[in-house]
Amino acid sequence: MTNPKDIIFKESEDLEQIFETLEYVKGPNLDEEISLKEIVSDFYPKMGFQASHLGKAVKIWKKIEEIRKNEELVVFMGYTSNMVSSGLREIIANLVKHKKVDVLVTTAGGIEEDFIKCVKPFIMGDWNLNGVELREQGINRIGNIYVPNDRYIEFETYMTKFFDELALKQKETHKVTSASEFCYELGRFMDENLGDEKEDSIIYWAYKNNIPIFCPAITDGSIGDMLYFYKKNEKETNLIIDIASDIVKLNDKAIDANKTACIVLGGSLPKHSIINANLFREGTDYAIYITTATPADGSLSGAPPEEGVSWGKIQTKADYTEIWADATIVFPILTYTVFK
Instruction: Give backbone dihedrals phi and psi of 28, rounded to 5 degrees, phi first.
Output: -75, 155
The one catalytic residue among 69, 253, 313, 317: 313
Closest CA to 109 of 268, 237, 241, 263: 268
Q: Return d(Cα 295, Cα 307) in angstroms, integer.
A: 9
Give the separation between CA 229 and CA 340, rounded to whole angstroms.
Answer: 45
| Residue 313 bears catalytic tag | yes
Closest among 324, 320, 119 to 201, alpha carbons compared? 119
**Residue 337 buriedness (CB in 10 A; 0-12 / 13-18 / 19+):** buried
Neighbours of 245 (CB within 10 A): 14
Query: Largest alpha-carbon pair distance within the chain?
Result: 89
Distances, alpha carbon 3 to alpha carbons 6, 11, 12, 13, in Å: 5, 13, 17, 20
Closest CA to 191 of 85, 118, 134: 118
Q: Give the residue from 180, 204, 183 showing the smallest Cα distance to 192.
A: 204
Which amino acid makes up residue 108? A
Q: Where does the chain have alpha helices with state H?
A: 4-8, 15-18, 36-38, 49-68, 81-85, 88-97, 108-119, 131-136, 149-173, 179-193, 202-208, 222-233, 244-255, 268-279, 305-311, 327-339
How many CB atoms neighbour CB 206 within 10 A?
Answer: 25
Our measurement of the distance from residue 180's CA atom to the centroid of its chain's CA atoms, rounded to an integer in Å, reads: 16
Residues belonging to the active site: 313
